[in-house]
Structures are given as C-alpha cells and as structure tokens.
C-alpha cells in the first residue's frame, strides 16, 4: 500500500514532545502513520504505541507499520474519544498523546470519498464509512437557516446566507447528490465579482470544510477528547495537537491554557480558598508553524499549528 500523506510538523512534534525509549504513546489520528513511524523509532522495543483512527483504510497502513517497527503496537479502529475512554477504563497511562487533526491526503484524494471539491463524486465526506450521517444528508435536509449558520461558523464563510439560500432553492427541485452539484450551487450563489476574487482556488473550499466538520462532528469531538486524553497522561506526560484551522486551534489553545491556571479565587480574597494549582506547563507558548521550506514542499502544512503542554506532577511548580 502506498503512503501518500506527508506528515506535517513531524520534526517539531518529535523535538518538542521528546518521546524516548520505553515510552507509552497514543497516536489519536493515525492516518498513514507518518508521525507514528517517527515515534516508534524513538520509543524502541520497550515502548508501546497505540494507534487510533476511525477510517478502516488507516488500519491497512497500520498493519504495514506494525510489521516494521520494534515497539509493541495496537490499533483501535474507533473514534478517538471512544478509544481514549477505553484506554482510561483499562487503566492505561501515557507519556505522550497526540492529535494530527482533520482529514488525510488519502481521504481527500480518494475521489469516491467525496471530500474534495476538485473531483465530481457522490457527496459523502464520512471518515468512518460505517457512520450513518453523510454530506448528502446534511446538504439536503439541514434547514436553510441552520445551514447558513454552519457555513458561517464552521467555514467562516462570509457569503453563508446566499449560498444556503441557493442550496435550499436547488434541492427543492432535485436533491444535491454530488460534490460537483454542490460546487455548482456555491458558484451560482456568488456574484461574479466575488467569484473572481478566488482566482485559481475554488470558492467552495470553505463550504466543503464546514459540511465535513458537521458530518464528522469534528469540533465537539475534539472538545470531548481533550479532557480524556489529559486524564490518561502520567506525571510529566505530554499532550500535543496539530490543527489546521482556527476553530480547532482555539479549542486546543483554550484547553491547554486552562490547565496552566492556578488559583481562581477573586483577587480581593486574602487567602486562596479554591486550592487550585496549575496542572500543566506549556511546551509551546505560541503555536508552532511550518517553516517556509516545509510549506514549499507540502502546501497543506501552510495552515498547520502545533501546540503542546506537559502534565505537572502534584505539587510540581511550572
């Protein structure tokens, strides 16, 4: 099986989170295992690497990796929140848990998965093909106002209202079945002057991002997963996430910042009553971005942001 996904910020992830001999690591978004392979080399034969992905195609990449690396390996084909909860239930503790969020290049480039506005294919966009909700259902059944809200919030699409209106208009005549039909609806909704502003890129990009986020429940899932990931970290364990748009990055940033906060008593209280102490030390004060060299080699890395923090032991000062 050929691997076509180039791991993003891979050197930075390894350098900043420092996996070492014997570590127990969870890769929550295995994909083609680009990051996992580097981690496996670092943790060696005494290390354990748990790989998670809800896409069955990732499991094939995992089989290849498992045959080649020396560490203990395990694959959990499920949603990462469920996988982390399962590990917590089993009493598994980790030195490193990381997320490389979003979709893989294999998912985007496999026409029939329906993730891409560049190919005409059935509207699908499910990371887990066994899941019921797909893009066709979202596009054809979501109420127009809700659809506009989704496009505006998850796609940060300024023309959300007119695009939602055009989608709603078209689907009363016949359901929108394909990615090509969705692109056509977006293009028809936008005035020519707006369309021209996109130059060579597709005006449907943000709409596709928004629909994909809904289909895969990406943001709520991240909110659910981060606390569970944090709960399985050992003292000194590291949590890292690579995100690809501001909606994800904001969630990661806020979650990690909250863990670094100590006393939350009102400032006029003479002594602390809350007893809260920081649980985390930030490894990255600001998000880490790809170098110009990486972006030139892999344009997808252009929007990537890496954040990481270390779990403090009880009583340890940051």
Decide: 32 and 58 in contact? Cβ < 8 Å: yes
Mark 162-201 with x for binding to ligand SAM (rule: CB under 6 A) and - for no binding: ----------------------------------------
Q: How far is the CB of 180 from ligand SAM (least distance, A)?
A: 24
Question: What separation, in Å, do the N-terminal and C-terminal C-alpha atoms of the chain show?
Answer: 45
In eight-state DSSP terms, residue 75 is E
Q: How far is the CB of 53 from ligand SAM (least distance, A)?
A: 4
Residue 243 contacts ligand SAM per CB under 6 A: no
Helix, strand or coil for residue 216? coil
Residue 7 contacts ligand SAM per CB under 6 A: yes
Residue 176's H or E segment, with its range, is: none
Residue 13 contacts ligand SAM per CB under 6 A: no
Decide: 178 and 124 in contact? Cβ < 8 Å: no
Residue 87 contacts ligand SAM per CB under 6 A: no
Q: How far is the CB of 164 from ligand SAM (least distance, A)?
A: 25
Question: Distance from CA of residue 2 to its chain's centroid?
Answer: 22
Nearer to ligand SAM by C-beta: 5 or 238?
5
Residue 288 contacts ligand SAM per CB under 6 A: no
Strand order in the sheet with 233-243: 72-76, 48-52, 24-27, 94-100, 233-243, 305-311, 280-282
Q: How far is the CB of 247 from ligand SAM (least distance, A)?
A: 14
Task: Name residues whose C-beta falls within 8 Å of residue 253's C-beta, 6 or more positions apart in sequence.
Answer: 287, 307
Residue 53 contacts ligand SAM per CB under 6 A: yes
Which one of 51-59, 85-93, 228-236, 247-255 is the stretch in contact with ligand SAM (CB under 6 A)? 51-59
Residues in the chain: 318
Residue 126 contacts ligand SAM per CB under 6 A: no
Q: Nearest to ligand SAM by Cβ — which residue?
A: 31
Residue 55 contacts ligand SAM per CB under 6 A: yes
Q: CA dist 204 to 54, 93, 164, 201, 230, Å?
A: 26, 42, 12, 9, 36
CA distance 306 to 239: 11
Residue numbers 24-43 binding ligand SAM by CB under 6 A? 29, 31-35
Question: Residue 72: phi, psi to the nearest 5?
Answer: -70, 135
Contacts to ligand SAM by CB under 6 A: 5, 7, 29, 31-35, 52-55, 58, 79-80, 100, 102-104, 127, 221
């Amino acid at each position: 099986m050929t691997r076509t996904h180039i791991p993003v910020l891979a050197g930075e992830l390894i350098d900043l989170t420092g996996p070492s001999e014997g570590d127990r690591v969870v890769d929550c978004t295995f994909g083609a295992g680009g990051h996992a392979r580097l981690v496996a080399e670092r943790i060696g034969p005494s290390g354990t690497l748990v790989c998670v992905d809800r896409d069955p195609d990732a499991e094939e990449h995992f089989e290849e990796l498992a045959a080649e690396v020396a560490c203990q390996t395990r694959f959990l084909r499920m949603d990462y929140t469920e996988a982390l909860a399962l590990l917590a239930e089993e009493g598994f503790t980790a030195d490193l848990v990381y997320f490389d969020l979003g979709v893989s290049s294999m998912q985007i480039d496999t026409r029939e998965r329906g993730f891409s506005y560049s190919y005409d294919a059935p509207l699908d966009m499910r990371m887990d093909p066994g899941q019921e909700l797909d893009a066709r259902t979202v596009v054809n059944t979501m109420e127009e106002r809700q659809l506009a809200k989704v496009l505006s919030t998850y796609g940060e699409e300024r023309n959300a209202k007119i695009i939602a209106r055009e989608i709603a208009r078209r689907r009363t005549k016949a359901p929108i079945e394909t990615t090509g039909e969705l692109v056509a609806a977006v293009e028809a909704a936008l005035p020519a002057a707006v369309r021209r502003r996109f130059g060579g890129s597709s005006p449907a990009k943000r709409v596709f991002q928004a629909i994909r986020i809904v289909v895969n429940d990406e943001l709520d899932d991240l909110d659910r997963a981060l606390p569970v990931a944090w709960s399985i970290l050992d003292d000194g364990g590291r949590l890292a996430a690579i995100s690809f748009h501001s909606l994800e990055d904001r969630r990661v940033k806020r979650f990690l910042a909250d863990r670094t906060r100590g006393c939350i008593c009102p400032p006029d209280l003479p002594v602390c009553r809350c007893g809260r102490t920081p649980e985390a030390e930030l490894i990255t004060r600001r998000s880490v971005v790809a170098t110009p060299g990486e972006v030139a080699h892999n344009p997808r890395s252009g929007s990537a942001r890496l954040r990481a923090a270390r779990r403090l032991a009880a009583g340890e000062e940051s």
